[in-house]
Amino acid sequence: MEWKTDWGLRGRMFFTMFLLVVVYLVFIAILSQLASAWLVVGFAGVFLFFQLFFSDKLALKSMGAKEVSESEYPELHAMVSRLCQQADLPKPAVAVADTRTPNAFATGRSKDSSTVAVTTGLLQTLDQEELEGVMAHELAHVKNRDVMVMTIASFLSTVAMLILRWGFLFGGGGRNRQGGGGGIIVAVVASLVVWIISFFLIRALSRYREYAADRGAAAITGKPAALASALLTIDNRMDKVPKEDMRSQSEMNAFFIIPIDKGIIARLFSTHPSTERRVERLQDLAGRQETA
């Protein structure tokens, strides 16, 4: 299979990003009226810097994932090297997390500073072709620069949440310009509205990018059915993961190949499409591959 641009998917992602930009520009304009514009820009810039340069390390640490050498995991390294050649990518660092939860994720702001991580539960659960499909999916995220895109898309949403949670950072300017606590109230309401809207837009964007990574994995391996099988295997295995493991790792859902939260409510707010929809698309790709 060739790595082809899905223009329908690309258009939906672009439209979602456009809506996010509009929401964030309005948010910045409101905050600029309540505090110094330089304070708004400076705070956002510093926050974005830390997200871009340190979020990968925090993600790995939160999962207990450690970078492993070729001597420790020779087969895993060989697989990643082979897939990187097929995807025309520099080889990322490889990390392993010692947990029973079967999952994988990619992190890093660029192709040259990325890491792909797997759990020991995943290595014990999947066969060779299924594992290749999952690793190719993570490499497709790296190739598409998804970590950087999602970091940039979400950072002002996080700023809005910080304002709501930790003292309404722009309240001082609000008291000076608006009188009393009016500025604080406006900042809180604006932050709440921005957070709610961006919450759903970012999840829509994340779901689109998961479809794109699935398609990319199929292009890298030429075996969409293997990834579909892996997704079903992981999804079925989640029911056997101890509840305490799932709770401790649920904040990493946006990074995982399959989110570990289950149920109707979890799916409504999920960063991923349903496994069933992803499998249907992969099976459709497999069917077209066979008839080509």
C-alpha triplet 231, 237, 238: angle, nearest 5°:
90
Distance, CA of 207 to CA of 2 (rounded, Å): 22
| 138 catalytic residue (yes or no) | yes
Supply the pLDDT for residue 246. 47
Supply the pLDDT for residue 10. 74
The letter for the amino acid at 250 is S
Which residue has tokens 């859902």?
A: 253
Supply the pLDDT for residue 55. 74
Distance, CA of 143 to CA of 175 (rounded, Å): 47
Beta strand 104-107 with 65-67: parallel, antiparallel or unpaired? unpaired
- Whether pTM > 0.85 for this model: the answer is no
Which of 132-141, 197-206, 228-237 is least confident? 197-206
Contact of 262 with 276, CB cutoff 8 Å: no
- 141 CA to centre of own chain: 9
Among 134, 17, 123, 112, smallest CA distance to 56 is for 112
How many other C-beta atoms can be found within 10 angstroms of the C-beta atom of residue 58? Answer: 12
- How far is residue 53 from each of residues 40, 92, 97, 196, 251, measured CA to CA in Å? 20, 16, 21, 26, 19
- What is the C-alpha R_g of the chain? 21
Whether the per-residue pLDDT at 128 is higher than 70: the answer is yes
Domain ranges, ordered by start, for the chain: 7-291
Catalytic residue among 130, 132, 138, 210: 138
Supply the pLDDT for residue 20. 79
Torsion angles phi and psi, residue 65, rounded to 5:
-85, 135
Contact of 131 with 230, CB cutoff 8 Å: yes
Distance, CA of 217 to CA of 228 (rounded, Å): 11
**Best-predicted range by mean pLDDT among 11-15, 19-23, 203-207, 281-285?**
281-285
What residues pair up with 106 in beta bridges, in sequence order?
116
Supply the pLDDT for residue 26. 80
Q: Report the pLDDT averaged over residues 228-257.
A: 68
Between 210 and 265, residue with greater pLDDT: 210
